[in-house]
Homo-oligomer: A and B are copies of this chain.
Amino acid sequence: MTAREPARRVTARDVAAAVGCSVSSVSLVVSGKAQGRVRVETQEAIEAAIARLGYRLNTTASALASGTSLGIGFLSPDPTNPFFSMVLDGLGDALADRYALSVLVPTGGSDYDRGTVRRALAGDFAGLLLASPSERLLDDFVPTCPTLLLDAGGPVNGLASVDVDLREALAELAAHLTGLGHERIAYLGFRRDKASVQGRRHQLDRALRQRGAVLHPTTVELTELTESAAQTAFTDTWPLWRGAGVTAVVCGDELFAYGVLRSCRVLGVGVPGDLSVVGFDNLPYSSLIDPPLTSVDLSARLLGQTAGRALLGLIGDGAVPGSSRVPARLVVRGSTGAPRRPTGQPAAR
């Protein structure tokens, strides 16, 4: 009567013993490097034994011996935010079959900080992706593995980055709004020491100026990325903006736009008759709310895919892919239209 051991996992040595070959041969077969180095018959015998014994490569040991890791770390301010979910999805598309995607969830708080990054650095990843990092975080960041920035507003500290190219979309937006007869436009954004976030307002401002419109100097900057914060802020600020002849408001985040729309409903402000509203992200829900939201689509999934490929390059040959840009595009929906009381020329329609 043999004592049943607690199901020891099958190792390459077991396979080798069963076949009557060495572990080296097993290793070669498993890693697909057997071509011309292991006799075909031996290969077949090994493969048969693997199937029969139920052998699975111990990835930990493999990683240690070969000095290569198998994980990619993904850091984002909020895994719950659809934008980052979609980036993650695209990322998985590009590299999930070769690497394990580790999502680092920020420990308490609305954004990830040095502590979270430290945890990530302890993870021995093959590569690291920092999504929408704050500038302050990057200041003293020292990479310990190929690291790529996403939506950081451009390369920082010599780290490659993948970003959204807003130029065309914002030019389109400016043309769209001014074409409808809007001349005074307000901005309600996110207060963050992030170049990517600040860039939105600046680039919009420039695009508008080129078309003779102007961004109202009173820009609301929220510190909390929620719909209700935006609703409150808009309710407070709207009298000022209305008094200044503002007929359109652009929101630096889609959630803010939702809040503004709700506030409009409560205040009885007609959208788009009294006010046109524009968001940033084009979440899947923006076509469902009422009125459907005009939005700048940040191409989150494509962004993730692009980042995945770039990271693959970084890890593979260490070739720094510089920084790539994925174009955003404007999606026009019912929340924008001609202002009811155009200040300049009368609106068509």
CA separation between A74 and B121, bound complex, in Å? 21
Q: Smallest distance from the beta carbon of A292 to chain B beta carbons, Å?
A: 10
A290 lies within 8 A of chain B by Cβ? yes
Contact of A288 among B57, B79, B102, B289 (CB under 8 A): B289
User: CB distance B89 to A105 under 8 Å?
Assistant: yes
A93 within 8 Å of B by Cβ? yes
Q: Please tell me if A31 contacts chain B, counting CB pairs below 8 Å.
A: no
Segment among A32-40, A58-66, A152-160, A240-248 that sits at the interface with chain B: A58-66
With A64-B64, A82-B82 known as contacts, the answer to whether A59 contacts B123 (CB < 8 A) is yes
Report if A79-B71 is in contact (Cβ < 8 Å); known contacts: A56-B144, A102-B100.
Answer: no
Name the distance in Å between A82's Cβ and chain B's nearest Cβ.
7
Which residues does chain B contribute within 8 Å of A93, judged by CB atoms?
A: 105
A92 to B102, CA, bound (A): 11
Interface of A toward B, CB cutoff 8 Å: 56-61, 63-64, 69, 71, 73-74, 78-80, 82, 85-86, 88-89, 91-93, 96-97, 100-105, 107, 119, 121-124, 144, 227, 258, 261-262, 283-285, 288-290
Can you report 24 residue pairs joining A to B where beta carbons are below 8 Å apart?
A56-B144, A59-B122, A59-B123, A60-B63, A64-B64, A71-B71, A71-B100, A71-B102, A79-B85, A79-B89, A79-B92, A80-B85, A82-B82, A96-B105, A96-B107, A100-B102, A101-B103, A102-B102, A258-B285, A258-B288, A262-B288, A283-B285, A285-B289, A290-B290
